Amino acid sequence: IAGITQAPTSQILAAGRRMTLRCTQDMRHNAMYWYRQDLGLGLRLIHYSNTAGTTGKGEVPDGYSVSRANTDDFPLTLASAVPSQTSVYFCASSSVSANNEQFFGPGTRLTVL
Amino acid sequence: GQNIDQPTEMTATEGAIVQINCTYQTSGFNGLFWYQQHAGEAPTFLSYNVLDGLEEKGRFSSFLSRSKGYSYLLLKELQMKDSASYLCAVLSGTASKLTFGTGTRLQVTL
């Protein structure tokens, strides 16, 4: 693993199904983030975690949950997917000690039908 | 709340210079980032300004005026590969959260 990875790359999901998007980083960054990107709306923060064991809500947290059991992994779960959650999801990580520059994963394209 | 404004689209000619502006309103300002994002790809870091003034990095420079809530990204000697979206993002508060503008799509033409 080099940097930050996300899985799956893309997914088509039926409404009402549960889905977990995976994110793993190997840079030992303390902070991790989940964004969604929609045309015309830019990147919007869903949830974040400043350190393992803690999480916080971003701008658009409803319908999503996260956990941060360790430094490297930050999964995002959609408990019951709805079509409005169709989007491209980016995971990012940063080190507070290094000017907070965020490094982004390659993204997951999710379609909810 | 926070408000970040940047133009939606710009067009420039190969070899020219282009300036992409960003204005913001925020509380607890901790810095401003510029990211580049090619279509279908993840954003990548370009620059970070926390103090007033100009930061230069090769063909790219970024300027910040905290009193005016204003930044710009200057791209010199434009190349076709510079065609991308440029995202302005403000770091604020104690939780180190970034708020992004909607991005400026730059098209470089021959």
Q: Are B24 and B92 in contact (CB under 8 A)?
A: no
| Mean pLDDT in residue range B52-75 | 96
The minimal CB distance from A104 to the residues B43, B48, B97 is found for B43
Residue A23 has pLDDT above 60, yes or no: yes
Question: Residue A68 has which token pair?
Answer: 């941060």
- Which of B4, B100, B104, B105 is the best residue to mutate to test the A interface, defined by the most A CB atoms within 10 Å of its own CB? B100
d(CA A69, CA B48): 30
Query: Are A104 and B44 in contact (CB < 8 Å)?
Result: yes
Judge whether residue A53 has pLDDT over 70.
yes
Rounded Cα distance between A102 and A68, Å, is 17
Q: Measure the N-to-C terminal CA separation of chain A; round to a whole number of Å.
A: 32
Min CA distance, B81 vs chain A (Å)? Answer: 19
Whole-number pLDDT of residue A44: 95
Provide, as residue numbers in chain B, all residues whose Cβ is less than 8 Å from the Cβ of A45. Answer: 97-99
Rounded to a whole number, what is the distance in angstroms from the first to the last CA of chain B? 41
Per-residue model confidence as pLDDT tens digits over B15-35: 999 999 999 998 889 899 999
The two three-digit tokens of residue A47, written as one number: 């949830």
Q: What is the pLDDT of residue A2?
A: 72
| Nearest-CB residue to B97 (from A48, A90, A105) | A48
